[in-house]
């Protein structure tokens, strides 16, 4: 809950000193870049590092959170105005990260940094102040060192990760610095532990620091434009908060879940289920679901992931003619992981903070939705000589057309949804058994089926479709490659340009979870 305490007069000097020091650091960085030609990325990272270290000590100088919150809000306003007017060029420098090209993109880190600081002040100051200190220190110091190393000596770029290239050298620096800071910080603050982390042996604490360092490194590697400034401290604080506050989540189980997520991500790259970005996203998703949800939440997600991944690899010869139609191939990237598993990820986080059983049915509903959509596409295109009809007009269309439905594909969608619920039945999940096996199968089965039809509806109406002038085919791809290797832009035929297959899949995932949740809530079964 957001809490803002009353202002105390004795905090005014510390507030004025904090604002003055931050502005002094920024002005000094600007002077170095304008007058002495210091690289703007280097100057910004030094400011970033200095402020991150200062925040670690900041709570010791305030008696309430009012003036720290006011300081964060003031910096947020200054950052927003600077984006508009460009007063301080050093704060707008290219993100850098673990190897971005300096000055390649504008950074919004000057907004995300004070924003996450403000939120943590309001959420954690009273009960878990140490989480705020430690998470902001990792972001401020670890991210800055990774950016400096990656941009100066980074040579080995990590392929298929983000549009802004990342380097192995920068990511290794991020991991090592994060691990050292987290291990030292957790040992230093061990006397403040009052929940699930209290009394844990040194080996568990060090293993936790290792896993959280991997999480921070993955977040930093995946995000650009300053977004990592927000999500690095947010992810660290979230995991620590759940481990401390949710008595059903044990650190040992969290560590095993994180290890399994890491191994699954490596396996997914080896068998080419996912590329580097997809595997990194899977590690973050899996650490949350496997580590916090345990087997109850893990088995349905694995059911979707393994069955759908294997299905996408089958019938390659028959599906080869559709490779130029679909936007992406069978090797999934981070966008597809987010589109298929992002809603499930969010629901897991919500459940970990609320323990509402209805959320679990929403979770099954969203997994059934994406499984139904995947199975409808895969089975519909593999089936010998199928017929497809546009879901909006029932006009016959070629198989593989966005918005097209077929009898085999629709049947596959329903069967795929049933597999998701069946996995929970086999796990003897208490909530599913209490609601009823048949009732749960019908609810999740039809949630997935109807969600797949929602996907087809959006595919037929608003999803962007293009004309490939080289092969003279309708496609979901924005560009095509000519025989001589030249990239050719395809012509938009219908739909909205920014609504691609990943966004339509997200609509599908939301509709499946919403339907299952609303049914459970309206029945008031668990209330």
DSSP string, 121-141: HHHHTTT-HHHHHHHHHIIII
Q: Which of 124-128, 154-158, 224-228, 485-489 has the highest mean pLDDT?
A: 124-128
Does the pLDDT of residue 389 top 90, yes or no? no
Mean pLDDT over all residues of the chain?
Answer: 87
Residues 6+ apart with CB under 8 A from 78: 110
pLDDT number for residue 102: 42
Is residue 327 pLDDT above 90, yes or no?
no
Q: Which residue has the tokens 């690899």?
A: 313
- Name which of 84-93, 96-105, 243-252, 341-350 the model is least confident about: 96-105
Question: Quick one: pLDDT at residue 97?
Answer: 47
Specify the pLDDT at position 94: 55
Ranges of H-type helices in 129-201: 129-137, 143-152, 168-188
Closest to 514 (Cα-Cα) out of 356, 369, 327: 369
What confidence score (pLDDT) does residue 95 get?
A: 44
Strands 479-481, 487-489: parallel, antiparallel or unpaired by DSSP? antiparallel
Q: Is the pLDDT of residue 161 over 80?
A: no
Q: How confident is the model at residue 167 (pLDDT cuts 50, 70, 90)?
A: confident
Neighbours of 432 (CB within 10 A): 25
Q: What is the dihedral of CA 235, 236, 240, 246, to 10 degrees?
A: 0
- Residue-wise pLDDT for 260-307, tens only, equals 999 999 999 998 888 999 999 999 999 999 999 999 999 999 999 999
* Centroid of chain to Cα 316: 30
- The whole model's pTM is what? 0.89
For residues 178 and 144, is the Cβ–Cβ distance under 8 A? no
Cα dist from 315 to 350, 422, 449, whole Å? 38, 25, 23
- What's residue 388's pLDDT? 82
The pLDDT of residue 362: 97
Is a pLDDT exceeding 60 seen at residue 315? no
467 has which bridge partners? 474, 491
Q: Give mean pLDDT, residues 191-206.
A: 93
The span from the CA of 489 to the CA of 104, in Å, is: 24
Q: What is the mean pLDDT of the segment spanning 398-412?
A: 83
């Amino acid at each position: 809950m957001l809490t803002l305490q009353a202002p105390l007069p004795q905090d005014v000097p510390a507030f004025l000193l904090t604002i003055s020091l931050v502005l002094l650091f920024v002005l000094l960085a600007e002077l170095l870049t304008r007058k002495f030609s210091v690289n703007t990325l280097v100057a910004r990272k030094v400011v970033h590092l200095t402020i991150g270290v200062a925040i670690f000590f900041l709570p010791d100088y305030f008696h309430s959170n009012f003036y720290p919150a006011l300081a964060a809000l003031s910096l947020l306003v200054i950052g927003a105005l600077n984006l508009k007017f460009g007063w301080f060029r050093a704060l707008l420098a290219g993100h850098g990260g673990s190897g971005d090209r300096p000055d390649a993109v504008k950074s919004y880190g000057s907004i995300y940094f004070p924003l996450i600081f403000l939120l943590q002040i309001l959420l954690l100051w009273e009960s878990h102040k140490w989480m705020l200190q430690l998470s902001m220190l990792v972001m401020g110091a670890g991210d800055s060192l990774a950016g400096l190393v990656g941009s100066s000596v980074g040579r080995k770029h990590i392929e298929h990760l983000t549009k802004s290239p990342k380097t192995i050298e920068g990511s290794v620096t991020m991991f090592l610095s994060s691990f050292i800071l987290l291990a030292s910080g957790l040992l230093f603050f061990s006397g403040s532990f009052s929940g699930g982390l209290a009394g844990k042996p040194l080996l568990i604490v060090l293993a936790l620091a290792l896993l959280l360092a991997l999480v921070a490194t993955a977040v930093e590697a995946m995000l650009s434009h300053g977004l990592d400034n927000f999500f690095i401290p947010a992810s660290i604080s979230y995991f620590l908060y759940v481990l401390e506050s949710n008595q059903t989540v044990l650190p040992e189980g969290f560590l095993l879940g994180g290890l399994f997520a890491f191994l699954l991500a490596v396996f997914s790259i080896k068998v080419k289920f996912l590329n580097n970005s997809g595997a990194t996203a899977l590690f973050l998703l899996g650490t949350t679901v496997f580590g916090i949800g345990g087997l109850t939440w893990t088995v349905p997600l694995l059911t979707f992931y393994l069955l759908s991944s294997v299905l996408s690899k089958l019938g390659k010869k028959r599906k080869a003619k559709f490779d130029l139609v679909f936007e992406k191939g069978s090797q999934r990237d981070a966008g597809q992981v987010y589109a298929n598993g992002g809603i499930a990820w969010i629901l897991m986080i919500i459940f970990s903070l609320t323990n509402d059983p209805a959320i679990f049915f929403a979770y099954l509903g969203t997994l059934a939705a994406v499984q139904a959509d995947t199975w409808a596409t895969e089975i519909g295109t593999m089936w010998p000589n199928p017929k497809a009809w546009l879901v909006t007009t029932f006009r016959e269309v070629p198989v593989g057309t966005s918005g097209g439905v077929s009898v085999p594909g629709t049947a596959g969608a329903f069967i795929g949804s049933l597999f998701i619920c069946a996995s929970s039945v086999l796990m003897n999940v208490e909530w599913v058994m209490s609601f009823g096996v048949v009732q749960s199968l019908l609810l999740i089965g039809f949630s997935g089926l109807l969600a797949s039809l929602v996907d087809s509806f959006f595919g037929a109406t608003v999803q962007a479709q293009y004309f490939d002038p080289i092969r003279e085919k309708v496609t979901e791809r924005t560009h095509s490659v000519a025989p001589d290797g030249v990239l050719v832009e395809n012509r938009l035929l219908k739909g909205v340009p920014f609504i691609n297959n990943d966004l339509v899949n997200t609509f599908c995932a939301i509709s499946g979870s919403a339907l299952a949740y609303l049914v459970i809530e309206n029945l008031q079964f668990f209330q």
